Amino acid sequence: MSVAAVARKELRQISRDPRSLGVLVVLPAVMTLLFGRVLSLDVRHVPIGVLDRDGTASSRALVAALVSGEYFDLRSYAASEADLDRLLLTGKATLAMVVPKGLERALLAGEHPAVRVVVDGSNATSAQTALGYAEQYLTEAGARLEGERPAPLFSTRLRVLFNPELASDRFLLPGLMAMILMVSATVATALSIVKERETGTMDQLRVSPLSAAEVVLGKALPYSVLSLLAAVLVMATAWLAFGLAVRGSLLLLLLLATLFVLGAQGLGLVISSVTSSQQVAFQLATYATMLPSFVISGFIFPLRSMPKALQLLSAVLPVRYFISGLRAVVLKGAGFEVIWPEVLALALFCTSMLALAIWRLHRTQL
Amino acid sequence: MSSPPTVEVRQLTRRFGNLVAVDALTFDAYRGEILGFLGPNGAGKSTAIRMLCGLLAPTSGGARVAGVDVVAQPDEVKRRIGYMSQRFSLYGELRVSDNLELYGALYGLHGSRLQERLDWAISLTKLSDRVGARVDELAGGFRQRLALACALLHEPEVVFLDEPTGGVDPVMRRAFFQLIDDLAAGGITVLLTTHFLDEAEYCHRVAIISRGRLVAAGTPTALKELLAGQVLVDVRSDRPGAALTALASLPELAQVELFGAGVHARAATGVSETQALMATADALHRAGVPSSPPAAALPTLEDVFLDLVGHEEVSP
């Protein structure tokens, strides 16, 4: 009953403070909308520089072929190698192509002239992707110029499941959603106990017969409801703005989100119990959630290619299980029989965090 | 007093590392009594109160509050006491009624019993027309009363008031002590801490605490009798600082202190009242400090306090 009294108090406090309500419920969806738009590992509109030493119809056809799609934009023609180097150095071009003198003549003579492509490798990921595209375009264009297409030795039929366009935003959105929810849910409660300590109301609660468990649950439950509301808005945003429809069961998704959010709130309360000011609590909560959810959660960087130590560390991160569960349910339509390990891990996280928060609060009472 | 004490404190001690915050405190308080802890900031008053509320475990010694051992059953103690902190800790963004309902619910009040206590609290706080107002919109005096009402909703036998009048104007302070007096008359034991000497005068008994130790305890009158036989000289002046300088090195006076718009001085041993008054008037005249004629004064609690505790900071 006292849990209900504390929960009612928390809800009243939040509802009297529209700004914090907005930050907790609406901001995650706004963030998803904002960052989801730029969230892409796909390479488009790569600026290229061209040094055309041939200056024939064939060389121009080659350049035209390269910039025909949306992947490459012709930024400028260079007059010399030095000019081309400068374009790469200043970042005006990411990719440079040198068409050798005598290209057309060589082609007509049935030779296989080499076209040199230089790429700015300072962003390794996009450089690799751009090279791949360039190679593909040039091979096709070359074949057209030669007027023949070499028959492949064997044919391959590729089929991509779950994300047929291999769009990276499909893959990244669940991670982004998990990260935003992790940060917002943790920060929300991280501030709450410290705030009560700062204003002295914590002492007032402590002299009442309220137990530590009642304080923790009374705080975690109402915030979880709000964070779940935020999660629903985030899902809706991902669906409406980015067409990320949920293939699997919504109920299963809700279960994952509930366990995750409740655990994050427990973590926030633990942070709240070990800090003495709202400022420190905020910083600790953001550091503890932001970086791990970004770097070692499988959000962007595949876990399998990480050093063993980091893989082990990520194994205790709830956000990792939430992301993989989310991807499985949203993209693949997986059911409970597939993602039960994720559910189990999140349930463990949730109970251990709440227990830790209760223990901490009980201890600081003495 | 015939009935057993409602608060029994025996050798209560709390250390923080090497610091002894509360040192072997022993005293009793009875039903209907207002007991004031008087002492400078950091004397250990709040630490003692926290131990008696079951918030802090004593290092050694013990206490029984409302018949319950605070070491063995701190949770049971909490049900029987009310506590009001020096910050009137209320939820500022919540309404008056929200705060009252919360504390009522925390102590297990519900239904008609809760309503009855809420009505009582609202009439006590005289906030009937502002029940829907946010607490942080209320003036200090109202917040103080609301905090008190929250601490009394569950009808505790003992209430602890930790510096209950900070930031409240003198008129409100007087009204507040009237309220406290009514509560005590109703049978509640009130333990309060203060560093205001005038507030201590409202208490039935005062315990003077310095550096964690109980220095003296008794009714304000009994404490003042500790200075019986000593000659006190009172001088009123518009320039109390100058008066203090003029009198500080006078051999007839042992101790000279600023006292409101004037100076209190204690005559040195063996100096008669007449000698002391004449020497004082003479010194003030020589120094050209305009003042009232020096008069023999009755000791106040402040004189007692300064005599016992010395020159640690204290507000008049």
- Is the pTM above the cut of 0.80? no
CATH of the domain at B259: 3.30.70.980
Nearest CB to B93: which of A6, A17, A205?
A17
pLDDT of A157 higher than 80? no
The amino acid present at A300, given as its one-letter code, is I
Low-confidence winner among A151-165, A323-337, B296-310 (lowest mean pLDDT): A151-165
Q: How confident is the model at residue B315 (pLDDT cuts 50, 70, 90)?
A: very low
Residue B56 contacts A, CB cutoff 8 Å: yes
> How far is the alpha carbon of A214 from chain B, nearest alpha carbon, in Å?
10
Residues B196 and B57 in one domain: yes
Q: Do B57 and A16 touch (CB under 8 A)?
A: no
Alpha-carbon distance values, B232 to B3, B199, B228, B267, B303 (Å): 39, 22, 10, 6, 9
Give the tokens for residue A352.
Answer: 């251990």
- What number of CA atoms fall less than 13 Å from residue A249's CA on the CB side? 11
pLDDT of A156 higher than 70? no
User: Which tens digits make up the pLDDT trace of B97-135?
Assistant: 999 999 999 998 989 999 999 999 888 888 888 888 999
pLDDT at A153: 60
Residues B144 and B278 in one domain: no
∠ CA A109-A112-A113 to the nearest 5 degrees?
Answer: 95
* Residue finishing a domain among B185, B201, B223: B223
User: Which tens digits make up the pLDDT trace of B217-264?
Assistant: 889 888 888 887 788 888 898 888 888 888 888 888 888 888 878 888
Pairing of strands A46-52, A95-99: parallel
Residues B199 and B251 in one domain: no
Please check whether residue B207 is in contact with residue B38, taking contact to mean a CB–CB distance below 8 angstroms: yes
Q: How confident is the model at residue A198 (pLDDT cuts 50, 70, 90)?
A: confident
Which stretches of chain A sit within 8 Å of chain B by CB?
1-2, 4-6, 8-9, 12-13, 16-17, 199-210, 365-366
Compute the distance between CA of residue B9 and CA of residue B44 in angstroms, rounded to an integer: 15
Using CA coordinates, name the residue in chain B closest to A200. Answer: B89
* Residue finishing a domain among B188, B223, B258: B223
Please check whether residue B89 is in contact with residue A203, taking contact to mean a CB–CB distance below 8 angstroms: yes
Tell me phi and psi for residue A253, to 5 degrees.
-65, -40
Q: Do A209 and B108 touch (CB under 8 A)?
A: yes
Residues B159 and B236 in one domain: no
pLDDT at A358: 93
* B81 falls within a domain: yes
Q: Which parts of chain B fold into alpha helices (H)? A: 45-52, 74-80, 96-106, 111-125, 140-152, 170-185, 197-200, 220-224, 240-248, 273-287, 301-309
* B40 falls within a domain: yes
Residues B236 and B218 in one domain: no
* B240 falls within a domain: yes
Helix (H) / strand (E) containing A6: helix A2-15
* B292 falls within a domain: yes
Residues of B in contact with A206 (CB under 8 A): 55
Residues B21 and B155 in one domain: yes
As a whole number, the mean pLDDT across chain A is 86
Q: What's chain B's length in residues?
A: 316
Nearest CB to B91: which of A9, A203, A207?
A9
pLDDT of B17 higher than 70? yes
CATH of the domain at B37: 3.40.50.300
* B315 falls within a domain: no
Residues B17 and B103 in one domain: yes
Alpha-carbon distance values, B118 to A134, A157, B84, B94, B150 (Å): 78, 77, 17, 16, 9
Compute the distance between CA of residue A264 and CA of residue A270 in angstroms, rounded to an integer: 10
Nearest CB to A206: which of B55, B81, B105?
B55
pLDDT of A263 higher than 60? yes
pLDDT at A148: 57
Residues B92 and B187 in one domain: yes
User: Which tens digits make up the pLDDT trace of B142-177?
Assistant: 888 899 999 999 999 999 998 888 777 888 888 889
More confident residue, A249 or B1: A249
Residue B113 contacts A, CB cutoff 8 Å: no
> How far is the alpha carbon of B114 from chain A, nearest alpha carbon, in Å?
13
* B212 falls within a domain: yes
In chain A, the largest separation of any two C-alpha atoms, in whole Å, equals: 96
Nearest CB to A13: which of B55, B93, B110?
B93
Helix (H, G, I), strand (E, B) or coil at A108: helix
Residues spanned by the domain of B260:
229-298
pLDDT of B68 higher than 80? yes
Alpha-carbon distance values, A340 to A284, A329, B132 (Å): 31, 11, 49
pLDDT of B2 higher than 70? no
Residues B91 and B236 in one domain: no
pLDDT, average across residues A71-84: 88
pLDDT at B316: 40
- Residues in CB range of A13: below 8 A, 6 or more apart: B91, B93, B94
> How far is the alpha carbon of A283 from chain B, nearest alpha carbon, in Å?
24
pLDDT at B30: 93
**Percent residues over pLDDT 90 in chain A:** 28
Residues B163 and B252 in one domain: no
Q: How many domains does chain B have?
A: 2
The amino acid present at B11, given as its one-letter code, is Q
* Residue finishing a domain among B168, B201, B223: B223
The amino acid present at B39, given as its one-letter code, is G
Burial B109-130, CB ≥16 within 10 A → b, else e? beeeebeebbeebbebbebeeb
Residues B191 and B243 in one domain: no
* B45 falls within a domain: yes
Residues of A in contact with B83 (CB under 8 A): 203-204, 207
Distance of CA A40 to the CA centre of its chain: 9
Identify from A1, A21, A208 which residue to disrupt to test chain B contact, counting B C-beta atoms within 10 A and taking the largest count.
Answer: A208
User: Which tens digits make up the pLDDT trace of A127-146?
Assistant: 888 888 888 888 888 777 76
Pairing of strands B295-296, B232-236: antiparallel
Q: Do B107 and A209 touch (CB under 8 A)?
A: yes
- What number of CA atoms fall less than 13 Å from residue B298's CA on the CB side? 8
Burial A98-137, CB ≥16 within 10 A → b, else e? bbeeebbebbeeeeebebebbbbeeeeebbebbbebbeeb
pLDDT at B253: 86
Q: Do B78 and A1 touch (CB under 8 A)?
A: no
Instruction: Extract the runs of DSSP E, i.e. beta strands, from chain A.
Output: 46-52, 72-77, 95-99, 116-119
Alpha-carbon distance values, B105 to A6, A140, A272, B312 (Å): 9, 77, 24, 43
Residue B72 contacts A, CB cutoff 8 Å: no
Complex ipTM value: 0.78
Compute the distance between CA of residue B50 and CA of residue A85 in angstroms, rounded to an integer: 74
Residues B240 and B210 in one domain: no
Tell me phi and psi for residue B11, to 5 degrees.
50, 35
Please check whether residue B286 is in contact with residue B244, taking contact to mean a CB–CB distance below 8 angstroms: no
Q: How confident is the model at residue A344 (pLDDT cuts 50, 70, 90)?
A: very high
* B20 falls within a domain: yes
**Contact residues, B window 126-165, toward A, CB-based 8 Å cutoff:** 134, 150
